[in-house]
Amino acid sequence: MVYPYGVHVAVAKIDRDTGGVTIERYLLAYDIGRRSIRCWSRVSSRRVRAGIGGALLEEFRYDERGEPTLRQLRGYLMPTAREVPPLDVLITQDAPSPLNALGLKGAGEGGINAVGAAIAAAIDDAIGVPGAVTRLPVTPQGLRGILAQAAR
């Protein structure tokens, strides 16, 4: 069994009037034990982009009967190049895993799992209220609500 070993850091700017969030910088760093082609290729911008979508845009809503309110993809918001900053990626091989003969660690899961938490923490930092973001996605309407509550 192997586990991902890394960190994600985001820097966000918010527009208090619109509730918009701009991710200004994004860093991810992983120690993958020993590099394998499979692990190396899985830490990619596509996974981080998917995580940004889940953190800021992609909300699944249901009606009172539990039916999805969005039934066509054209209404589904996904991040574009405008919402995804260039990624700073650091991959190291400093500590091979003692749990397998090849020294490999997980790296594929790490590309998406921590994105929402990193963005939520960046938003908390930008508004100066630790723990303000408790639910994803942080839509503009949701952020305006958080800002209104923080102002009270």
Domain residues of the chain, as ranges?
6-151
Asked whether the predicted pLDDT for residue 108 surpasses 70, the reply is: no
CATH 3.40.190.180 for domain 6-151:
no
Is residue 57 within 8 Å of residue 77, measured between CB atoms? Answer: yes
Q: Where are the beta strands (DSSP E) in the chain?
A: 6-14, 21-31, 87-92
User: pLDDT per residue over 38-90, tens digit each?
Assistant: 544 455 677 888 889 889 988 888 899 998 887 777 767 788 888 889 888 88
Best-predicted range by mean pLDDT among 10-19, 31-40, 60-69?
Answer: 10-19
Closest CA to 20 of 106, 137, 121: 137
Q: What is the pLDDT of residue 36?
A: 59
Q: What is the pLDDT of residue 68?
A: 85
The whole model's pTM is what? Answer: 0.83
Asked whether the predicted pLDDT for residue 20 surpasses 60, the reply is: yes
